[in-house]
Structure 1
Amino acid sequence: MGLVRLPSLIANLRSFSKLNSLRCRKYESDVPKGHLAVYVGQFQKRRFVIPISYLDQPLFQDLLRHSEEELGYDHPMGGLTISCHEDAFVELTARLHCS
């Protein structure tokens, strides 16, 4: 109950990414290959484009688990939604970029 298997979570996100790119042709040109568009924020969502390699990072996986518990992954704009403060997301991605 409530246990999420990490390999299946990553596989689902990768499948979501592929389906999302087919569904949202409008954004295809501004999301480079090997990247993923995510919407971040608690109330007003801001769009970020991140490397798919972040999906393998434990810090990012923790953030995804927390967001899934809070509101799932679907966003009306067709991207992955992460419910956290933008500042916290930017700080986390900066740490991932440096590692």
Structure 2
Amino acid sequence: MGIGLVHSKQKLSARIGNVSATANVPKGHVAVYVGEGDRKRFVIPISFLNRPLFQDLLARAEEEFGFNHPMGGLTIPCSEEYFIRITTILNGSN
């Protein structure tokens, strides 16, 4: 077994440790954590990820966290109020 494969398995094992946090996410959805202090978990449709309005939030997350998200899942660095406004707009435009 090559070193690259062992390293990949270690990364996968680390990610599997976080699966319990997202175990109750319905198919076609993803859990995200939102907030600037205490973070709240939201479950959103995967379709939001391709929307330009939501991609702005993803760009913020990338700038702030890179691939190291402190909650073990995708963390969006904005207020809950702003996130709710964005998701309300995206829900209304479907």
Matched AA of 1:85 = S
- Name the SS of the counterpart of 1:39 in structure 2: strand
Give the paired residue count.
81
Computed over aligned residues only, the root mean square deviation of the Cα atoms, in angstroms, reads 2.2
Q: How does 1:55-94 map to 2 (within 5 A)?
A: 55-94=49-88
Q: Structure 2: which 5+ residue stretches go unaligned?
A: 1-12
Q: How does 1:10-21 map to 2 (within 5 A)?
A: none
- TM-score, normalised with respect to structure 1: 0.70
- TM-score, normalised with respect to structure 2: 0.73
Matched AA of 1:69 = E
Map of 2:40 onto structure 1:
46
2:24 to 17, 22, 30: 30
Q: Structure 1: which 5+ residue stretches go unaligned?
A: 1-18
- Name the SS of the counterpart of 2:53 in structure 1: helix
CA distance in 1, matches of 2:37, 2:22: 25
Higher Cα Rg, which structure? 2
Displacement, 1:38? 0.4
CA distance in 2, matches of 1:94, 1:24: 28
> Cα gap change, 1:63/1:20 in structure 2, threshold over 3 Å: closer, same or farther?
farther
Among the aligned pairs, what percent are the same residue? Answer: 53
- Name the SS of the counterpart of 2:58 in structure 1: helix
Residue deviations 1:32-81, cap 9 Å, x none?
01100100011111111110000110000011112211232433432100
Q: What stretches of structure 1 move > 4 A for 4+ residues in a row?
A: 19-23
